Chain A
């Protein structure tokens, strides 16, 4: 039971670990790392489902008749590219956030945003008093 579904157990553990990091971490870069682990778990899920017991890589060779299903593997090649693009964009935005806020800690940034909004509202009260 456990041995036969080993890959899927790995997938579940990685997926939960990744999601947990995304949700619990305050550090923006660590969130991206969590997202990557989460996505990798899905890649392993797809690759495992394409595997055939005793099958070899799907390349025509003399003497083999049993091949793994190449389609999920090809799909995952695309998904990996998408994942890399997402990571790159996420990190690029994180760098811009660091330049703008001088911090990559979510709660510090939220505090600064609250301060910004408080100032916007403070201006409202000042301009409203004369009229």
Chain B
């Protein structure tokens, strides 16, 4: 009985525990509740994946109202994968959060922080599983609002400005999506995504639908931080509280990318988006520029947090590029990289948070000699860094392999070369950190630095080990992504 209700359970666990958390005065108790609910969500997400494995899509009718009148929850392998991404990586970050918050915030504030975190998580899950276009907008706004609040909690006063700028950009983006949904409703009279997908092909010559597509593309590109609409991202990631950055980097942009894939391929349809509206002509040059410029900018950063944030812009461009190449390998690369990069970047930000926990700064010069004073933490950072560069036997290699294959499938040797060059740039900026960490003398004030408590170490190492695991066993990532790519492109596997 419980298994048929899973789609509702996975959403409600975090959604309902958020207000309860905010009412608990003791921060530690709130943390325990948050831990319970997120790890239960991980279990529920895995159970969902088991149900849809192999292509048995679930359609769940909220409150028993049949679609298209009622709100439908639709889960296929793609949404199950994204739900696992959100819950698992969110849960790992929350596990480290208690120790990490202790140094920065007075304990009676902790429960509110956990509540905001849970709210953000549940709304991201909501975006992923809903089958209703208007629900996507509402959940998107809930997740954005909680994200702004989380970023504004950063210690530096520049966090406030970063949050404010993100609020302006994010609201414009979300309102554009709302306009797009309104236009679609105007023409088709429905908000159910499956229903829209059936009715839209009759109206492809309608100017209103074309305008709706344009509004949607710009709005979601702002949320995904597609170059050149990435302006909010580096500051937001740099000044957000340290462990929170790990969660945001893993989930917020990835879920937006999921919405982009879902709408472009499923709702508007491949034929309309690419053959008629020429989305690839727009996205391919933008993402190539994003990869090169953001990687180059990352190389010259002296603040490691900002460096990793710029690297995120470049990696997101990889995913958009894979999608825009519009072939099987490209789409597989995009979806695999969505998962792998979420894992790697969350791990990197979390290990960096562990270093800041001891050293008190993310400036490169303060991390000198940290490889000797915090050997276990730094080792995890090196493994994750190798994953980011795409060294074989790590998860990053798998997705870059597919992406380069996709470029070669198109006979674009120059693009494959560019991708290798950008990977070398990643090697340079990760190498720069590793060099400072192992081969520079520690400044005198950091001589007493030692490894972080085990409660932070375990999540860091979980990310590092998962990076190696998914580099070796690709059934759950590339295997699923391949099946999804077949179904999105409408090719029989």
Contacts and interface: CB of A to CB of B under 8 A. Distances in A.
A71 B167 CA distance: 28
B49 to A, nearest CB: 30
B112 to A, nearest CB: 13
A22 B302 CA distance: 32
Interface in A54-81: 72, 75, 78-79
A94 B186 CA distance: 36
B138 interface: yes
A34 B224 CA distance: 24
B19 interface: no
Contacts of B148: 89, 93
Contacts of A120: 363
A131 B443 CA distance: 10
A124 interface: yes
Main secondary structure of the interface of A (DSSP, over half): helix
Interface stretch (B99-107, B153-161, B287-295, B473-481): B153-161
B145 A89 contact: yes
B46 to A, nearest CB: 32
A75 B134 contact: yes
Contacts of A38: 172, 175
B182 interface: yes
Contact of A35 (B152, B161, B171): B171
A31 B145 contact: no
Interface string B128-166: 000000100110011001001100100001101101100
A46 B181 CA distance: 10
B441 interface: yes
Interface residues of B, number: 30
B172 A96 contact: no
Given A42-B179, A45-B179, A93-B148, A35 B185 contact: no
A14 to B, nearest CB: 12
A49 B175 contact: no
A102 B118 CA distance: 33
B149 A39 contact: no
Nearest to B181: A75
Nearest to B69: A71
Contacts of B164: 28, 90, 93-94, 97
Contacts of A42: 175, 178-179, 182
Contact of A31 (B142, B168, B185): B168
B175 A85 contact: no
Given A89-B145, A121-B302, A100 B172 contact: no
Contacts of B141: 82, 85-86
A116 to B, nearest CB: 7
B486 interface: no
Contacts of B432: none
Nearest to A31: B168
B483 interface: no
Interface in B175-197: 175, 178-179, 182, 185-186
B160 A93 contact: yes
A17 interface: no
B424 to A, nearest CB: 26
Nearest to A110: B161
Contacts of B302: 121, 124
Given A93-B152, A113-B158, A128 B365 contact: yes
B158 A35 contact: no
Nearest to B190: A71
Nearest to A128: B365
Interface in B74-103: none
Contacts of A75: 134
A96 to B, nearest CB: 5
A113 B148 CA distance: 19
Contact of B182 (A45, A85, A124): A45
A119 interface: no
Given A46-B182, A93-B160, 12 more contacts: A38-B175, A42-B182, A49-B182, A82-B145, A86-B145, A89-B148, A93-B164, A96-B160, A113-B161, A116-B158, A121-B302, A131-B441
Interface of B: 134, 137-138, 141-142, 145, 148-149, 152, 157-158, 160-161, 163-164, 167-168, 171-172, 175, 178-179, 182, 185-186, 302, 363, 365, 441, 443
30 contacts: A22-B168, A22-B172, A39-B175, A42-B179, A42-B182, A45-B182, A46-B182, A49-B186, A72-B182, A72-B185, A78-B138, A79-B178, A85-B141, A86-B141, A86-B167, A89-B149, A90-B164, A90-B168, A93-B164, A93-B167, A94-B164, A96-B152, A97-B160, A97-B164, A113-B161, A120-B363, A121-B302, A124-B302, A124-B363, A131-B441
> 4 smallest A-B Cβ distances: which pairs?
A100-B157, A82-B141, A97-B160, A93-B164
